[in-house]
Structure 1
Amino acid sequence: MPRDITPLVRLELAGWTSLCDGTGSDFYGSIMTDDAVMVLADGVARARDEVMASLREAPAWGAFEITDERLVELGPDAAALIYTARAFRAAGGPPFVGIMTSVYVREGGRWRLALYQQTPVPDGD
């Protein structure tokens, strides 16, 4: 039976909200596994501590939307959430549009982020 996608979508919404309100470093520091990696649209792969440090300095996002959510079950305690995100910087400029993949594992009864990848959509389409 397919797993309920809702808890993972809620985690993604909470993550994007933290990037808008300036608490991204704390949020991702608490949700990422110790060996987690983020592969970002600029081609950089960052480990958990690097992500936390970069988020302390990152400009805020002003708004975002998540659409086309899909769940890929990887096992009883692992799943990948794939979705399209459109995000707008608080300072203005064109939106960032990408296909996001977040791989979650269940540790200690809660979902933790193990791998995140952004794939930009050319021209924001």
Structure 2
Amino acid sequence: MDCTPEEVAELEERGWRALADSAAAATAFYREVLDTDPVMLLPGGLRLADREQIIASMGGQPWSRYRLEEVAVLRPAPDTAVVAYGVVAHRAGAPEYSALVSSHYVRRGGAWRLVFHQQTPR
């Protein structure tokens, strides 16, 4: 069962919607989508490779708004997808956040799982 690039892009968008909704929505989304052995590379040299630590870290202050730019989906092999884009996001009382982002998904057991995510500030 194949999917369209739009479906994978929508999954990535769902993550941002959860992060902008509430800590509970964000942790629930990532508990559902994260693979068993994920890696996240985040600004400030932060490398997270423990699934429960990643889920907990998603429960911070929600974004007040965000905008994804130039979303591209690559399908390098069956059952894999890479989503690459720019993001501009805002949190109350914090400076604007702008980054280049990539997320790598694999399909396991009929569902897309996030195995790798990186944010590079711009």
TM-score, normalization by structure 1: 0.87
Segments of 4+ moved more than 3 angstroms? none
Q: Could you say which residue in structure 2 is the equivalent of 1:33?
A: 35
Q: Could you say which residue in structure 2 is the equivalent of 1:16?
A: 16
What stretches of structure 1 of length at least 5 have no aligned partner? none
Q: Could you say which residue in structure 1 is the equivalent of 2:87?
A: 85
Moved more, 75-84 or 92-101: 92-101
Report how far residue 74 of structure 1 moved: 2.0
**CA distance in 1 between partners of 2:108 and 2:101 (Å):** 22
Q: Assess if the C-alpha contact under 8 Å between 2:38 and 2:115 holds in 1.
A: yes
What stretches of structure 2 of length at least 5 have no aligned partner? none
Q: Could you say which residue in structure 2 is the equivalent of 1:74?
A: 76
Amino acid at match of 2:57: S
Q: Could you say which residue in structure 1 is the equivalent of 2:95?
A: 94
Amino acid at match of 2:110: G
Q: Deviations over 1:93-112 (max 9, x none)?
A: 32111110000001111211
Q: Deviations over 1:1-51 (max 9, x none)?
A: xx6211111111110111111111111111010001111122111122111
**CA distance in 2 between partners of 1:54 and 1:81 (Å):** 21
Matched length: 117
